Amino acid sequence: MKQKSEQQGIFYAILSYVIWGILPIYWHQLDSVPAGQILAHRVIWAFVFMMSLLVVVGKRQLFLSTVKQLFAEKKKFSALTIASFLVVTNWGIYIWAVNNGHILQTSLGYYINPLVSVVLGIIVLKERLTIIQYFSVIIAFLGVLVVSIDSGGVPYISLALAGTFATYGLIKKMIPIDAEIGIAVESMMVFPVALLYLFSSDVNMGSDWKQTVMLVAAGAVTAIPLLFFSKGARLIPLSTLGFVQFIAPTMMLFIGVFVYKETFTMAHLVSFTLIWIGLLIFSLSKTKIFAKNSSNKSKQASV
């Protein structure tokens, strides 16, 4: 049963990261709209989408009771508020970076993200890794280090993206709340700020009907992968979730290089190779055969 739940969690996590992986193309179509306004539209329409979804699936009453309960539980309320602003900050940095020619920086950020998730899982949640898993993390870290050194300075965009989303993932892991309800509550918490920002600025609904539709659809585009991510995060270890996250930055890397013609250096190639070797080793370490062999070796060593 536990194995089946973990398999479902991995499926949801992979689905969320595949969607996130292709989103640079979506946001790039809106590059004539200021990043702040795109972000505000994401928040507002995500809230509208989630409230509509809750009505359709019959969870409106559960949402209201959950909100009432959260107001009574200050720690949970504070944690979800922090999570809400963390993910919105992540969105804002990401949108700005994509629309200003830094897709490879966003890719690097989401490569670093799993490493931060693994570290948080070990430090905060006391998750344990095997020696081979530690080895895979070190290899992946070296891959990130190579491209960081090659960039000639501290990759602030990448580090900000990694830190905000990894911490968001940690909070989601620690708070057992229904996925749909959780996203609705998060979007509700930042909705007033987004609405105030949008109406206090020179509102831009896009230069044509296509962009207007895309801004409105940003709600669904934002909420759907978050729903999948939330379901996955609750069913699998944070360390495993961290390595599934390599899917999105790899897709972003290809999009940046082959679609938007950003420069791809030898350092990028070395980094990409090391990270995927680390991912492969970590993935193999989660298989039954590998785990069984490791267990047998441990028993022999103890004898």
Q: What is the pLDDT of residues 40-49, one digit of tens each?
A: 999 999 999 9
pLDDT of residue 299: 46
CB 194 within 8 A of CB 151: no
Contacts of 88 (CB under 8 A, 6+ apart): 39, 43, 190, 194
Q: Kindly indicate the confidence band of residue 239, based on its pLDDT and cuts at 50, 70 and 90.
A: low
Instruction: List, in order, residues 6 or more apart from 194 with CB less than 8 Å away.
Output: 39, 40, 41, 42, 43, 44, 88
Cβ contacts of residue 187 below 8 Å, gap of 6+?
A: 43, 46, 47, 50, 84, 223
pTM for the whole structure: 0.81
Q: Which of 269, 254, 260, 252 is nearest to 21 (CA)?
A: 252
Residue 162 reports pLDDT greater than 60: yes
Report, as an integer, the average pLDDT of 213-228.
92
